[in-house]
Homo-oligomer: A and B are copies of this chain.
Amino acid sequence: MSGMNSDQLHRSTLGIYSSLINEFNPGLQKLVSLGNSYIQAFKALAATSDAYFSALSKVGERAFHTASSRSIGDVLIRVSESQRRLVLELEGVFRSFSLEVLDSMEKNVRLDRDYLLGSRETYEVQLRSQAAALERLRRRPSQAYPQGGSEYVDFLRESHNQALQEEERRYRFLAEKHCGLIESFTKFMNKNGVTLQQQAAAWTEEVDATRRPEAHRPATLDNIVS
């Protein structure tokens, strides 16, 4: 970057606009499309998870109404409920991914191409006008030449900084959106992980208890009338 002359500065500015128009923008478009597939795949996963744990819950209900396995049935029902709640909450994370990340990316893709093409064109028009003014100055030996030259360079430098800022703004937008997504995921994990761990330990203990004789066997079984 150091030691760029006017020509290098100009080519770097154009290079930034080209990269944003020809690479960043289509890249964003591709992300939107891949993100929508990701969300569809999550919906399919949620449906299969729901089917599985509904079926498990039904088995649990049958167990709950037996003489032998009431408490085990209760655990199976609660295990199933916990998983369905978990998937429901994860759906919230994916919904915000869809609304806050993908939708705003898609909106930007639509608007930004025109905006960037306009910015590049404005830069080129202004550049030609600045170059013409500089050329006029050079043809008048009576004018202070260095002053005009410095205005031209100031313009190139300012335009280059603007292009760099446009570029940075776009990458930052993408990074901020995805940091937000990761934060939603971690919030989901930390909120549910500890609670679920305690529940799972209690359920395991409850199921273990059924291995101990008498503790769970209906006492009335030994009290039948022949």
Contact = CB atoms under 8 A, between A and B. Distances in A.
A115 interface: no
A38 B48 CA distance: 5
A1 B59 contact: no
A210 B58 CA distance: 54
Given A175-B72, A175-B75, A82 B182 contact: yes
A contact face: mostly helix, strand, loop, or mixed:
helix
Classify chain A: how many residues form its interface, as a range: 35 or more
Which of A55, A79, A187, A189 has the largest count of B CB atoms less than 10 A from its CB? A189
A172 interface: yes
A215 interface: no
Nearest to A39: B48
A18 interface: no
Given A45-B42, A167-B69, A226-B150, A79 B182 contact: yes
Interface of A: 1-6, 9, 12, 16, 19, 23-24, 27-28, 30-31, 34-35, 37-38, 40-42, 44-45, 47-49, 51-52, 55-56, 58-59, 62-63, 66-69, 72-73, 75-76, 79, 82-83, 86, 149-150, 152-153, 157, 160-161, 164-165, 167-168, 171-172, 174-176, 178-179, 182-183, 185-187, 189-190, 192-194, 196-197, 199-200, 203-204, 207, 210-211, 217-218, 220-226
B76 A5 contact: no
A6 B226 contact: yes
A186 B193 contact: yes
A72 B171 contact: yes
Contacts of A222: 157
Copies in the complex: 2
Contact of A34 (B2, B9, B51): B51
B178 A56 contact: yes
Which of A76, A83, A171 has the largest count of B CB atoms less than 10 A from its CB? A171
A195 to B, nearest CB: 9
15 contacts: A3-B225, A12-B67, A19-B62, A19-B66, A38-B45, A56-B174, A68-B165, A68-B171, A69-B171, A69-B172, A76-B171, A160-B221, A164-B217, A183-B197, A193-B193
